Amino acid sequence: MDRASTGTYDPSCFRLIEGPIPAAPDGKIVVQTLLMSLDPTNLNWLKLDPQLQAIPFGVGDPMIGVSIGVVTESCAPTHAVGDVVTGMWGWRRFDVVDPLFVRPAKPATEMSFEQQLAIFSHVGRAAAGGMTLIGEVKPTDAVLVAGAAGATGSLAAQIAKAQGCRVVGIAGGPDKCKFLLEELKLDGAIDYKEENLHEAVHRHFPQGVDLFFDNVGGEGVDAVLANMAIGCRIIVCGAMSQYNISETSNLYGVRNLPLLIFRRARLQGFVADFGPRNQVVDKLLDDLTERGQLVARTHVVDGFENIPDALALLLNGKNHGKLLAQV
Ligand SMILES: NC(=O)c1ccc[n+]([C@@H]2O[C@H](COP(=O)([O-])OP(=O)(O)OC[C@H]3O[C@@H](n4cnc5c(N)ncnc54)[C@H](OP(=O)(O)O)[C@@H]3O)[C@@H](O)[C@H]2O)c1
């Protein structure tokens, strides 16, 4: 914990460094970044808190993220110059990448790069795997999704709809709630900025919530815990409301956990890597996309130098869909 940085997000914590284009060592490729995914997890990594990191970061390390890029130099037999790949590498215009950690992107003529990063990425996997493998969604479920107008939540909500569930989404503001009802065709929308969450969840789920897909954390968790059906599954995908709180002591303390007992309920977190079951998740995303059952809104910011400011959009809710940066 002593490495953790404190304070709320400040874009000036980033520095833009100019340098020569790197050369590919033996077995590696150089990739020119075309489109980058900007994610709430970048905000967590910035905290340098080992408890929040799968990958340890130090001060001065380049941020990383999922991107699409084109191979500009290859010293690996698997890749040729011009190949378009997707994977995780540094927030750099050109980066040296291990070919083991990239996979081919679909041609842009088949699906735009924006849609690929919004659906066929960690985001789609989190939504599809979280809803099906972790949440074990079934058609009779009454489903609630928090952060439902966002990148992950909107896919999760649509996946539950495609299963035949009754789905209600929580989002901030009338425009986002309108999007949930009119474009995603959800059965209900709760504006958490206007409504009392406890009352609204009870009103929408008089028989209780069967499955809660949570991207937000905080008070919504208590509202659901107080309104669970027997056997409820609470799936913790993210906790947006807690990511910009500067002091650990100010994090929201969930009060209603004991209610899990008599509701025989389950609360489970996950990360969007399901090992050998990734294939099942990707197939579901493929099928739903082909059937036109997945709409993914994207919010593209232009320019590498604008990334630090763009990241703040995730915290003030001003992103409308998957946040991406065009390089
Ligand atoms: N487990 C995994 O592997 C995994 C993978 C991908 C994403 N995630 C998680 O999923 C969540 C959503 O990520 P995303 O990339 O899809 O972002 P997103 O939902 O597209 O954007 C973030 C949204 O969070 C909402 N928000 C921000 N601050 C909030 C607050 N204080 N209270 C309530 N809502 C707040 C805003 O929507 P409103 O305007 O509606 O408030 C904002 O638009 C994040 O928590 C992320 O960590 C987890």
pLDDT tens digits for range 227-239? 999 999 999 999 9
Span from the CA of 82 to the centroid of ligand 1 (angstroms): 34
Residue 281 has pLDDT above 50, yes or no: yes
Say if residue 129 is in the same domain as residue 247.
yes
Say if residue 174 is in the same domain as residue 266.
yes
Burial 112-147 (b: 16+ CB within 10 A, else e): ebbbbbbbbbbbbbbbbbbbbbbbebeeebbbbbbb
Say if residue 205 is in the same domain as residue 236.
yes
Say if residue 71 is in the same domain as residue 142.
no
Pocket of ligand 1 (CB under 6 A): 39-41, 122-123, 126, 147, 149-153, 171-172, 176, 215-216, 237-241, 270-272, 314-315, 317, 319
- 44: CATH: 3.90.180.10
195 within a domain of the structure (yes/no) = yes
Residue 101 has pLDDT above 90, yes or no: yes
Strands (E), 237-297: 266-269
Separation of CA 145 from chain center: 13
Q: Which residue puts its alpha carbon closest to atom 6 of ligand 1?
A: 123
Q: Which residue puts its alpha carbon closest to atom 45 of ligand 1?
A: 238
280 within a domain of the structure (yes/no) = no
Q: Which of 178, 215, 323 to mutate to test the pocket of ligand 1 (most atoms within 8 A of CB)?
A: 215
Q: Which residue puts its alpha carbon closest to atom 44 of ligand 1?
A: 238
Residue 196 has pLDDT above 80, yes or no: yes
Give the H or E element holding residue 177: helix 174-178
Say if residue 243 is in the same domain as residue 313.
no
Q: Which residue puts its alpha carbon closest to atom 28 of ligand 1?
A: 315
Weakest-pLDDT range from 56-60, 74-78, 197-201, 213-217 = 56-60
Ligand 1 atom, smallest distance to 130 CA: 1
Q: Which of 240, 299, 322 to mutate to test the pocket of ligand 1 (most atoms within 8 A of CB)?
A: 240
Say if residue 160 is in the same domain as residue 264.
yes
Span from the CA of 215 to the centroid of ligand 1 (angstroms): 5
Q: What share of the chain is helix, strand, coil (3-state, %, to 5)?
A: 35, 25, 40
Residue 138 has pLDDT above 90, yes or no: yes
Ligand 1 atom, smallest distance to 220 CA: 33
Query: Cβ(21)–Cβ(94) under 8 Å?
Result: yes
Residue 24 has pLDDT above 90, yes or no: yes
Single out the residue in 236, 259, 274 at which a domain terminates: 274
Say if residue 85 is in the same domain as residue 222.
no
Say if residue 61 is in the same domain as residue 165.
no
Residue 2 has pLDDT above 80, yes or no: no
Query: Cβ(145)–Cβ(204) under 8 Å?
Result: no
Give the model's pLDDT for residue 3: 59
Say if residue 132 is in the same domain as residue 267.
yes
Ligand 1 atom, smallest distance to 240 CA: 45
Q: Which residue has the higher pLDDT, 48 or 305?
A: 305
Query: Cβ(237)–Cβ(215) under 8 Å?
Result: yes
Strands (E), the chain: 29-37, 64-74, 84-90, 94-97, 102-104, 142-146, 166-171, 188-191, 209-214, 228-236, 266-269, 298-302, 322-326
- 154: CATH: 3.40.50.720
Q: Which residue has the tokens 């999760």?
A: 156
**How many structural domains does the chain have?**
2
- 3-class state of residue 21 by DSSP: coil
Q: Which residue has the tokens 């100019």?
A: 18
Residue 17 has pLDDT above 90, yes or no: yes
288 within a domain of the structure (yes/no) = no
Read off the pLDDT of each residue in 127-150 and give the average, rounded to a whole number. 98
Say if residue 18 is in the same domain as residue 156.
no
Span from the CA of 23 to the centroid of ligand 1 (angstroms): 37
126 within a domain of the structure (yes/no) = yes
- pLDDT range class, residue 1, cuts 50, 70, 90: very low
Separation of CA 169 from chain center: 16
85 within a domain of the structure (yes/no) = yes
Phi, psi of 300 (to 5 degrees): -100, 125
Span from the CA of 197 to the centroid of ligand 1 (angstroms): 17
Q: Which of 53, 194, 216, 299 to mutate to test the pocket of ligand 1 (most atoms within 8 A of CB)?
A: 216
Phi, psi of 253 (to 5 degrees): -95, 115
Span from the CA of 261 to the centroid of ligand 1 (angstroms): 28
Say if residue 315 is in the same domain as residue 264.
no
Range of the domain at 91: 11-105+297-326
168 within a domain of the structure (yes/no) = yes
Weakest-pLDDT range from 87-101, 242-256, 308-322 = 242-256
What tokens does 190 get?
């709760």
Per the prediction, the chain carries an average pLDDT of: 95
Read off the pLDDT of each residue in 60-66 and give the average, rounded to a whole number. 93
Say if residue 222 is in the same domain as residue 316.
no
Give the model's pLDDT for residue 4: 67
284 within a domain of the structure (yes/no) = no
164 within a domain of the structure (yes/no) = yes
